[in-house]
Structure 1
Amino acid sequence: MLDALTLDQMRTFVAIAETGSFRAGAAKLLRVQSAVSHSIANLEGQLGVLLFDRSGHRPVLTAEGQTLLTNVRDILLRVDAMRARARGMGEGVELELPLVVDTLFPTTILGKALSEMRSQYPSVAIRVAAQPLGEPINALLEKRCKISITVGEHFRDPRITLEALSSIAMVAVVSAQHPLGKREKTLDVADLADHLQIVQSDPSPLTEGRDFGVISPQTCRVSNQDMKHALILAGLGWGRLPLWQVERDLREKRLVRLATRSLGRDSQVMSEAYLAHRVDEPLGPAGRALAQALLHLCSELPS
């Protein structure tokens, strides 16, 4: 008899459980109450258990009903996911959307954009890598991702199309306990060169033999932005970090801006973030939805 169970019966069961009554469940499903009652009676007969205690004013889930409700919700979730994936295949929706995002790009904006995309295409799997410098472009060139976000003007290739998203403020900072953080006079390049600079390494071959913004002969090279942030906070050295990452540290005076005019006004420079993809591989529906979400969210940021 279990083979005779229908998805309609399961959806009816969930509707009554969630609304608390046969009448409200029927209204939610746009059906007459007698049809809903008949559907649940058939379901109980096929399962061989009572799902609802009808002795009171309102139906109450039995212990068996509570247990089976979890199973039914799981089944419906899987069926809906399968339908969404099948619908996506018919529409040419990507099965997976791999993307590489510059470590300087705000993670909150990325998270919101991905959530918006997923609301439209829930069947699409997401694979995100946060990589610095040339790697977002390199990943596109090597076809390891479909879309990327890159920051700065150093990485251009005619095979890659770029669309500006927003400006990223980069701030030269140091721990408030570091000797440079305690200096009251304006610092010059020689002062900075006397201390260790924390520098982001590039995992791609695009910057081989080149350095960007390296002033000090004393460097500590790190593989990710969080490590750079942690080492600067610990007082090991100084370096540039995105303002969104250090705003709280600056506000609570764990970090201070370097008192120098050599690294931009108020030790701050602006870098442009770009949405990037290959010219010969146009974005699919999910990729376009993500791009639109990013553009919309970035347009609302203060300029």
Structure 2
Amino acid sequence: MLDALTLDQIRTFVAIADSGSFRAAAQKLSRVQSGVSVAIANLEAQLGVQLFDRSGHRPRLTPQGQILLGAARDIIVRVDMFRANARDFAAGVEIELSVAVDTLYPMESVGRAIAQMRQDFPAVAVRVQVEPLGGPLEALRRKRCLLAIMVGEDFRDPRIRFEALAPIAQIAVVASAHPLAAAEKHRTIGAEILSDHLQIVLSDPSTLSEGRDFGVLSSQTCRVNTQDAKHHLILGGVGWGRLPLWLVERDLIEGRLVRLNAAALGRRGEAASQAYLAHRLDEALGPASRRLAENLMGTTPTDNRQALTL
């Protein structure tokens, strides 16, 4: 009966195929040769298939044995992974790791850090939520995530630890066909000119910025809830706005967007904000989340790192 198959039999089958003989397999498995022979004979009887041709000096895989060898290897790998995952969970490795990321932070960098973490902890599920402004901090406060990446100094909480990652540059941009693009070619654009045109602004999903606006110069606004929506509306010529430099570099190079030399928003319309890795002081990080944090911090030069509790 197939239900009577054992992992020992499957490992013995693979060991013989890998070592080339029953004797070598017995040495590899620290068993007597007769025990190896009996294990394979029982396996072949249970399968109803001859796995090795024993007519020559050395056993050779039969055509059926060659096909089943791949399946046998897969079974061993999966069982070994099963055991490794169980050991990890017993050691306190997280079942799921949740991360909230500020929409201004490049997701590619987050992806590389997660991929590196999963090389050591492949069984850990990952959940990533991308939110602007106070969204990541609120996710930490409500324990909807264990780690958060926040940009800027506008939102703080004494229960949260902040570690500096890298500065994120934002620039004021507009579509190349927008009237402001023509005005930009001739002079520095003042706040009074910008206020005459629609500004695309991100809405805060949290209540942390209630009654406050960040970088809003125009009385005419179009509020959106995602960075992608803001980016595409600006590309479509609806209005102007600030976007992270990493997001719009190609648009600038290829002429779809134009930088606005708006002194009210920084030199040449550019301002840099510090990105931080944040987590709650009352929530211990597990092995996988610690590794992810290390990977994220590893993308930042050592002399730029600093731990802050604000």
CA distance in 2, matches of 1:264, 1:15: 67
SS at match of 1:180: helix
Distance across 1 between alignment mates of 2:70 and 2:258:
55
What's the TM-score, normalizing by structure 2?
Answer: 0.82
* Equivalent residue for 1:244, pick from 229, 246, 249: 246
Q: Which residue of 1 aligns with 2:139?
A: 139
Contact preservation (8 Å) 2:49, 2:64: no
| Cα shift readout 1:272-296 (whole Å, capped 9, x = no counterpart) | 1111111111211111100101111
1:1-303 pair list within 5 angstroms: 1-11=1-11, 22=20, 38=37, 43-50=43-50, 62=63, 66=67, 69-70=70-71, 72=72, 75-183=75-183, 184-185=185-186, 186-299=188-301
1:30, distance to aligned residue in structure 2 (A): 5.4
Contact 1:139 1:145 in 2 (8 A): yes
For residue 149 of structure 1, what is the amino acid of its counterpart?
I
Greater C-alpha Rg: 2
CA deviation vs aligned residue, 1:201-222 (integer Å, no higher than 9, x gap): 1111111111111111111111
Shift in Å, 1:75: 3.8
The answer on whether the counterparts of 1:50 and 1:65 sit within 8 Å (CA) in structure 2 is no
Distance 1:259 1:140 in 2: 36
Judged with a 3 Å threshold, the aligned counterparts in structure 2 of structure 1 residues 297 and 47 are, in CA distance, closer, same or farther, namely farther
CA deviation string 1:173-193 (max 9, x = no partner): 111111112222221111111
Asked whether the equivalents of residues 124 and 286 of structure 1 are also in contact (C-alpha less than 8 Å), the reply is yes
* C-alpha contact (below 8 Å) 1:14/1:69 kept by paired residues: no
SS of equivalent to 1:69? helix
Alignment CA distance shift 1:146-1:195 (3 Å): same
Note the residue ranges of structure 1 that are not aligned, 5 or more in a row: none
Separation (CA, whole Å) in 1 of partners of 2:53 and 2:268: 70
SS in 2 for 1:164: strand
Task: Check conservation: 1:84, 1:122, Cα contact below 8 A.
Answer: no
State the one-letter code of the partner of 1:5: L
The structural deviation recorded for 1:111 is: 0.7
CA contact (8 A) 1:177 1:235 kept: yes
Output the amino acid matched with 1:133: L
Aligned residues: 296
Q: Deviations over 1:96-149 (max 9, x none)?
A: 111111111111110111111111112211111111110111011111111111
Which whole-Å CA distance do the structure 2 matches of 1:230 and 1:58 have between them? 65
| Alpha-carbon distance in structure 1 between the residues aligned to 2:95 and 2:257 | 43
Shift of 1:84: 2.7
Normalised by the length of structure 1, the TM-score is 0.84
Q: Distance in 2 between matches of 1:200 and 1:148?
A: 19
Is the CA contact 2:172–2:262 (under 8 Å) kept in the aligned structure 1? no
Q: Give, in angstroms, the shift of residue 16 of structure 1.
A: 8.2
Report the CA distance shift for 1:47/1:218 in structure 2 as closer, same or farther (over 3 A). same
Contact 1:163–1:274 (8 Å) recurs in 2: yes
Q: Deviations over 1:22-70 (max 9, x none)?
A: 47xx79x9569x97x9566654443223457899999677468547835
